[in-house]
Copies of this chain bind each other. A is one copy, B any other.
Amino acid sequence: MMGRIHSEGREPRRPAAVMRDVAKLAGVSHQTVSRVLNEHANVRPETRDRVLDAMRHLDYQRNTAARALVTRKSQTLGLITFDTTLVGPASMVYGIERAARDAGYFVSIVSVRTLERGTVLDAIKRLREQAVEGIIAVAPEDTAVAALSRVPENLPIVGVGVGRSEDVCMVGVDNRTGARQAIDHLLSLGHRTIAHIGGPPTWPEAKEREAGWREALHAAGIIAPEPTAGDWSARSGYEAGLALARERSVTAVFCANDQTAIGLLSALYRAGLKVPQDVSVVGFDDIPEAPYLYPPLTTVRQDFSAVGRQSFELLLQQINTRTRSTERMALDPELILRESTCAPA
């Protein structure tokens, strides 16, 4: 009779308090509790305080599942990120999560290792199961962008990247302009042979950077040499650097990103070349280490967290207006001059 005779030892002591409990303690109906919770007007301040007190006493947590069930809103958005140690994604996750939280959204994350169509589709499926109200996908590869255009019309989505897509909203950085700034800088220094170590050809960002390099060279009446293929890694920069050092024909190298530049620097030194005296080097991204490399790296800065915030804004807009946007937004990068570039000998 004492209750709990059959209590199962492994259960948490007290079941979590629900609205009814709060209501009882405050001497009101559970309805009124709901009202104060949702900040409806028409609740006497005095009643409100009693309810608030009761909630505190019972350590009341509103049940989001029940709430979502009836409102048909999960207050959650999905985030698809790419597994990587590249700075970009990490900073963006932070920016996005931050913005989402401020707007009252939870964020559910799915990390994918590759950006193949199938993988991304799986991630989307998983997020749909979760009933997310919208999705932000870091989609730097063509295949990923293609997958995004397959999400149902009624699910808002924003891609982060610069891939071409007919029907999905994308936000990224204007890589082409960034690259041109870098090359123009090198040209103004007097360089005429400017090599490029590119990123993976399946990445639109890589293609844009290469295009910018090509355009700037072309505008100066210089025929672009064949770029070296890379994969964003220091390793690829290192290997490309070894080859470049053997040729000894270039006075400057534009790297697809800073990691590549790190590897390049290493290869150049190993070959006995000096930077910037023998070879000028420019990177892309402006990772936190860039100013403290030897020499401090001239590079193109991207504001990743701005991209993150912006993508959330665009998503929120779609959610609120219930319209699928196909807007395309490109933020401007900024050339940061440091000591890895100088006039050629």
Give A residues with C-beta under 8 Å from B.
Answer: 10-13, 59, 61-66, 68-69, 74, 76, 79, 83-85, 87, 89-91, 93-94, 97-98, 101, 106-111, 113, 126, 128-131, 152-154, 233-235, 237-238, 259, 262-263, 265-266, 269-270, 287-289, 291-296, 321-323
Contact = CB atoms under 8 A, between A and B. Distances in A.
B62 A129 contact: yes
A159 to B, nearest CB: 19
Contact of A109 (B10, B97, B234): B97
A291 B84 CA distance: 17
Number of copies of this protein chain within its complex: 2
A109 to B, nearest CB: 5
25 contacts: A10-B322, A11-B322, A12-B154, A13-B154, A61-B128, A63-B131, A64-B131, A65-B131, A66-B69, A69-B69, A79-B109, A85-B91, A85-B288, A93-B93, A94-B111, A101-B126, A106-B130, A233-B292, A234-B288, A234-B291, A234-B293, A238-B292, A262-B289, A270-B294, A294-B294
Contacts of A64: 65, 74, 129-131
B110 A109 contact: no
Given A12-B154, A61-B129, A98-B111, 10 more contacts: A13-B154, A64-B130, A64-B131, A65-B65, A65-B69, A90-B90, A93-B109, A93-B111, A106-B108, A263-B289
B61 A69 contact: no
A159 B275 CA distance: 44
A233 B61 CA distance: 40
Contacts of A62: 129
A10 B11 CA distance: 46
Contacts of A94: 83, 111, 113
Nearest to A322: B10
A12 B322 contact: yes
Nearest to A287: B85
What 6 A-B pairs are tightest by C-beta distance, nearest first? A12-B154, A234-B292, A65-B68, A266-B294, A263-B292, A234-B289
A1 to B, nearest CB: 26
